[in-house]
């Protein structure tokens, strides 16, 4: 009962102080629309909007989760408020889950903003919505734990932003969001398959257009392994660097 109340209190505080602020909500709406319009307007031929949807959704989740979590945890550590949370009578695992759940929820919400807009433009029948939600959730979890890993690896907010871009911008071009992996130069393709977002986008392609190129079970397994690995690595870094 006490641990559940602590979890809910931390989550509610983060949602109120960070994620439900008007600038963040508007950013979550404008960002995916801007990326979608960029690819539509720059194309000289008719664009299959439904084909672009998995990439826009994955990109919205990636930037929404990592941007918020990496900065907020770094800021809280700098202001020493995170250290007060470490004194709370809950386990470190539960504390980390409480701090990351808000980012996961924010990422899920961001992912379905473009879906709402696309629904007015194209027919979305035939989509496997259960697999879509599972895929978006796994992308959100993996991206959130990537943000957590970044946050516990740096000490300044500007370092968190720079380190985030070190991971995020290569993913835009290497993970098949808009350019299929097999269309990339052959020497870059192995790097694409080392990045978790490649598998997340492929799951969404299976769910939305039934055009995935990687075995579905393999993509889901890789996302789970990345999520667990990033969480455990971040936990190790917190115990090593923040708990003396």
pLDDT, one tens digit per residue, over 162-200 is: 778 888 888 888 888 877 888 888 888 889 999 999 999
Rounded to whole angstroms, the Cα distance separating 36 from 126 reads 22
Q: Which is more confidently placed, 56 or 43? A: 56
Dig out the tokens for 57 from the structure: 């959704």
pLDDT digits (tens, 9 = 90+) for 90-102: 787 888 888 888 8
Q: What are 7-21's pLDDT values in tens digits?
A: 788 788 888 877 777
pTM: 0.89
What is the pLDDT, as a whole number, of residue 28? 60
Highest-scoring range by mean pLDDT, 4-8, 50-54, 164-168:
50-54
Residue pair 113/29 in contact (Cβ under 8 Å)? The answer is: yes
- Between vectors from CA 220 to CA 232 and to CA 207, what angle results, nearest 5°? 140
Angle at 104 between CA 145 and CA 142, to 5 degrees: 35
Residue 239: pLDDT band (50, 70, 90) is: confident
């Amino acid at each position: 009962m006490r641990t559940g109340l602590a979890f809910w209190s931390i989550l509610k505080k983060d949602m109120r102080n960070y994620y439900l602020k008007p600038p963040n909500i508007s950013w979550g709406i404008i960002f995916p629309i801007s990326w979608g319009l960029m690819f539509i307007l720059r194309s000289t031929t008719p664009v299959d909007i439904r084909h672009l949807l998995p990439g826009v959704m994955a990109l919205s989740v990636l930037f929404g989760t990592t941007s918020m979590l990496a900065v907020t945890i770094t800021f809280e550590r700098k202001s020493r408020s995170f250290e007060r949370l470490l004194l709370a009578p809950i386990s470190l695992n539960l504390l980390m889950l409480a701090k990351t759940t808000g980012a996961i929820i924010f990422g899920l919400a961001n992912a379905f903003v473009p879906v709402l807009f696309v629904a007015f433009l194209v027919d979305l029948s035939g989509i496997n919505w259960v697999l879509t939600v599972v895929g978006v959730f796994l992308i959100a979890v993996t991206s959130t734990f990537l943000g957590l890993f970044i946050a516990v690896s740096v000490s300044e907010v500007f370092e968190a932003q720079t380190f985030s871009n070190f991971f995020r911008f290569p993913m835009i071009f290497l993970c098949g969001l808009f350019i299929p992996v097999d269309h990339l130069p052959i020497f870059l393709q192995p790097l694409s398959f080392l990045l978790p977002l490649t598998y997340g986008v492929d799951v969404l392609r299976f769910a939305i257009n039934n055009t995935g190129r990687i075995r579905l079970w393999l993509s889901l397994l890789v996302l789970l392994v990345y999520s667990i690995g990033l969480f455990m690595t971040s936990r190790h870094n917190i115990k090593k660097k923040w708990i003396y």
